Structure 1
């Protein structure tokens, strides 16, 4: 997509036990972008009940919740350019993630772009939407993640990987570097640079530099 075809319609698919920064790092970048260009944003989940960063088996002593705007059943796929999928401790338990994996089987081929953060790539792999694609993920959970997608071309040393419509990133904070890079490609590097400057964020602009690999 050229900068004349900028993606403006974003959504995130949530599940119990998602990692907060996987979502709110990239989302804050979009919040700031929306000050200079109109965007739309949907929060998707199995039900309209607030979704907690605490999931079955995650063992947190504090948590936060996000209110969905749509369920997976009524998600407005025709109004979504970019679907963001976070990871988190909840990805380890099928009870937490089976509904989002099933949704990704349906939604992954329909959206223009699929972006995953951390172990969110494991969910995309479970859904089969990464088959044949180059992808990366959290290095601390690498062995488990890669077992979820034997037909994925996993790239170990990468902060993020872009393979056509699919962008995947390494652990947690890598999602921010990926989002800046994604916006740089579609909105122009000057916009991405200005957004990072406004956030006083020091970007990793080289996708192959991965300190944790």
Structure 2
């Protein structure tokens, strides 16, 4: 494992935007929350402004929950790992635009960039996935790949690793990606312990994707 050859990361950030998918964020973050009980981490929740950000869009009868950012894209602290979720909100180019510019600025400073679901579409728009292998949500597959014509999209994949960019399929696939990332960075025993604590059955094979 490349992971254990150098000091594992401790500084994490997650992007949120109006209409982000709740599990895209809180599935992976829950694993980090549990890990931080024995090995302290630093964490930032990033958005375009400091206003609360809701999972809800303007749809009659829809419910949603809001989170409060800790930082904006303009005052982001030092990060080693950044996670970009998906969600129907990122279908709006106006929502994607500030995230794309942020990614272009921060990527050279990151050790790892992770995406869940259609978060890979935002990264593709930034150009950071050009020439790389990546995956995305299979229910939104045609739209996703149309947004990144220079990406080597991999349909049959639960998650894909290309260099220091990890991309995953839809929604719950982000949990599999995070446990795989934890295994890579902190070791198999840590990943297994955290999955057991969450009563979660890990998918150990990135190529097994029943939703493809």
Same fold? TM cut 0.5: yes
CA contact (8 A) 1:136 1:161 kept: yes
Tell me, yes or no, if structure 1 residue 48 matches structure 2 residue 50.
yes
Which whole-Å CA distance do the structure 1 matches of 2:33 and 2:62 have between them?
28
1:65 matched residue in structure 2: 66
Which whole-Å CA distance do the structure 2 matches of 1:53 and 1:123 have between them?
17
Gap runs ≥5 in structure 2? none
1:54, distance to aligned residue in structure 2 (A): 2.0
Gap runs ≥5 in structure 1? none
1:188, distance to aligned residue in structure 2 (A): 0.3
Please tell me the root mean square deviation across aligned C-alpha atoms, in Å: 1.3
1:2, distance to aligned residue in structure 2 (A): 3.1
2:35 matched residue in structure 1: 33
Which whole-Å CA distance do the structure 1 matches of 2:169 and 2:205 have between them?
13
Q: TM-score of the superposition, structure 2-length normalised?
A: 0.95
1:206 matched residue in structure 2: 205
- 3-state SS of the aligned residue for 1:124? helix
Q: Could you list the per-position Cα deviations for residues 98-123 of structure 1 after superposition, in whole angstroms to 9, with x for gaps in the alignment?
A: 21122112222321100000000000
2:120 matched residue in structure 1: 121
Which whole-Å CA distance do the structure 2 matches of 1:87 and 1:123 have between them?
8
> Equivalent residues in 2 for 1:169-184 (5 A)?
169-184=168-183
CA contact (8 A) 2:131 2:150 kept: yes
Which whole-Å CA distance do the structure 2 matches of 1:59 and 1:10 have between them?
35
1:59, distance to aligned residue in structure 2 (A): 6.2
1:95, distance to aligned residue in structure 2 (A): 2.4
Which whole-Å CA distance do the structure 2 matches of 1:58 and 1:193 have between them?
39
Which whole-Å CA distance do the structure 1 matches of 2:59 and 2:168 have between them?
22
Q: TM-score of the superposition, structure 1-length normalised?
A: 0.95
